[in-house]
Chain A
Amino acid sequence: MTRKLLTGNSAAAWGARLAQVDYIPAFPITPQTEIIEDISIWIDNGEMDARMVTLESEHSMITAAGSAASSGVRVFTSTSSQGLLYGMEMVYTVAGWRVPFVMINVSRGLSAPITLEPDHNDIMAARDSGFLQIHCATCQEITDSVLMAYRLAEHKEIRVPAIVNQDGFYLSFTREPVELPDADKAAAFVGEFDPENLQFKGSAPLSQAMAVLGGGPYSYFRYEAHLAVQRVLSVYDEIADEFADTFGRRYDMIDNYQMDDAEYVFVMMGSFATKAHDAVDSLRNAGWKVGLARLRIFRPFPQEKIRQLLTGRRAVAVIDQNISMGMGGVLHSEFATALYGMKDAPAVLASYIGGLGGRDISQQEFFEMINEIKQACDKGEIPHPRLLYTQNELTEMRKLQAIAQAEHADINQSEIKQKETNKK
């Protein structure tokens, strides 16, 4: 076991290396690119026995990832944001092929307006595709989750691709100490890829990804994929136990912090949850019974675990780092679905949208949210959904707008002056 300072991107590349992948179709995009740079150096130096090919787009990259996995090799790939959306047709398609492979998504806000900094709207767009989704909060978790993702994706009763998600900049470019699993142990944990029938060979004719006619076969295959994704819920703990036994680190589907007696709960995904972690410590010191539930496995959605976890809590603040236009936070509506009609469900399930495009969430805001959901409980009200945005930010924004509209404003002012002159 080696301890190294690694960025999230290097941690992801190490995951691929330790999983002994055969094939890496690639395409550069910020903030993901370092992953493929690391891998290409290792391949060139002979430290990694794999083949990497740079495609001409993410659409082609995900096609090649799927078709290689359909031809019997272990595949790793990575993308981000616009790239994920450019390849989105194939994200859905290859999931339907029921081919196991692992793709890193380095979350980054979507255009427009174009930005480089993180939020989760990109990965939410893949929500309904049939890919598993694991969301990481630390660099260590990225390496470890890649290994676990192969076990889940390649499970004989699952066989779907998986996305391991990390936040751009906050993880991708941030160095943290990572305990790299021993190569032999990692190889033994992940095991050799047994493609079974997923391979083309001259002596065994096979058609894959064929068309269907009519809704009957279509519904069957689609629902079967849904059931396959859900099967993760029943095999996950066993794989997590084995990982913990081998490497000493245990990852649950939901990463709970101070949840045992928590009356008020933050729900989050990704690296911004580490900010909530600190806030929980401060609030606990001040005597508040506060906890944090960080959802790691987003697809399949661990509905039962969530129900068990939140039974009897007073109030929940769901912080979405995404926004579904015209609806609000995606995670919030999913939690509402999970909790609806449940006996002893929290009286308040409040929705907060924050951290869009890398916007920070301050400690003060965490305190304010807890205060607000407590007040709501006390008064028996449901708070309105809120965007985390300060007066200060709005003032700064107004300044930018004034600059952007400088010419227009000048004309208006000169018109006003003109009118005033005329009056005189």
Chain B
Amino acid sequence: MSTVAARTRATSGPPSRLGDFRDDGPLARMVGRASGAVPIPPAVLMLLSALPLIAVLAVDGDNRPALGAAVAWAVIAGGLASGRPDSGRFAWTGPTLLRPLEYGTLLAFAVIAGPQAVPFCFALVAALAFHHYDTVYRLRHQGVAPPRWLRLAGGGWDGRMVFGYVLLLIGAVGTGFLVAAIALAAVYVAESTVSWSRFSQPRRPAQYDDEEDEDD
């Protein structure tokens, strides 16, 4: 293999797009560092992370301690998966399962808090969805993921799940979601706009343009 080719392989091979898609916060990252000790594929960890939450919500969503434990478990199991986002042939299910895990949990908190909180939950999920699509599309068209500080500022899926639970405990889900939605939307949209105003050339080869968003 020629040296130039070797260099290309080293620089053009994306570090981990799946890792970028995940949107892990500081909590998940911390847990993720221990992932080496747990040789379970991320896809399995992701499934395991959601099961207790689903069980608690199905049986008794008003049981706050049980709900708290389930959220903590989700952060731990999902966080472990963040350490090795690309491993296993089902690695692609990682980011896929994170979206319904986070959005679904936030929706459940809103439902428990009362119907007036649900529209605010819609606003919050919309802001998050913008960010998650933005991450994918910017990787595709700019060749780079949003910066690290933005991920920290957003708290990650883990941080937001804990944040939602805390709001539930103090009885401020509606207002909390509304404030978070406005703040996050402002930061996400502003950062994206700035990135485009600074963008000139793609750093990584773009994926082929005719690629479908929705294929078989």
| A and B are partners in one complex rather than unrelated chains | no
Q: Which residues of A contact B (CB under 8 A)?
A: none
Q: Which residues of B contact A (CB under 8 A)?
A: none
